[in-house]
Amino acid sequence: MSSERRPAGVGNLIRGAVAGGIATWVMDLTTTGMLQGQSPEVNHREEQARPNGKGAVTNLVDRLQAAFDVQLDDAARSAVETGIHFGLGIVPGAIYALLRDRVPLLGAGRGMLYGVLLWAVNDEILNTRLGLAGEFGAYPAETHGRGLVGHLVLGVGTDAAVTALGG
């Protein structure tokens, strides 16, 4: 199908998916650096707050394995966890690229509002409600701050990459 006949939204979806993947990688670099700078006390409090002592994606994969009665070996499990993690940046990135010019407030701050929305909805609400993460107050403030900074990086990175890719 030639580009003249393809719906305009398809290109934006692809740009957004690629941008979301890139921005997820940059977010990971940022939050890993911040995590390495945390005190052992904060790390311990964060670990204690996590259901089953595990992060949200790991808990989700545990739940999926149980629901579908499958057991993944370590390599497959790692690939699934990585896929889910990056998917949580790729899918919203595609949607963001499709909507940022149609929903004016969404692109506010060159992706900052988008990043804050992802942090609030995913990290602070859904993960807790789904039992994939502990209650808000169980985590130290540093955990919430690291998540917010990471998602700001994700939002700005997604916006910048979409623009760089021609969106």
Distance of alpha carbon 63 from its chain centroid, rounded? 19
Query: Percent helix, strand and coil across the chain, each rounded to 5?
Result: 80, 0, 20
- The predicted pLDDT at position 3 comes to 47
| Percentage of residues of the chain with pLDDT beyond 90 | 89
Tokens found for residue 138: 């169980």
For the segment 93-104, the average pLDDT, to the nearest whole number, is 92
Distance CA 27, CA 84 (A): 15
Q: Which residues contact 59 (CB under 8 A, 6 or more apart)?
A: 50, 51, 52, 131, 132, 133
pLDDT-based confidence at residue 9 (cuts at 50, 70, 90):
confident
**What single-letter amino acid sits at 15?**
R
Q: Mean pLDDT in the chain?
A: 93
Tokens found for residue 96: 């963001």
What separation, in Å, do the N-terminal and C-terminal C-alpha atoms of the chain show? 20
Distance CA 151, CA 116 (A): 6
Distance CA 91, CA 132 (A): 19
| Percentage of residues of the chain with pLDDT beyond 70 | 95
Tokens found for residue 111: 């992706």
pLDDT at 105 > cutoff 80:
yes
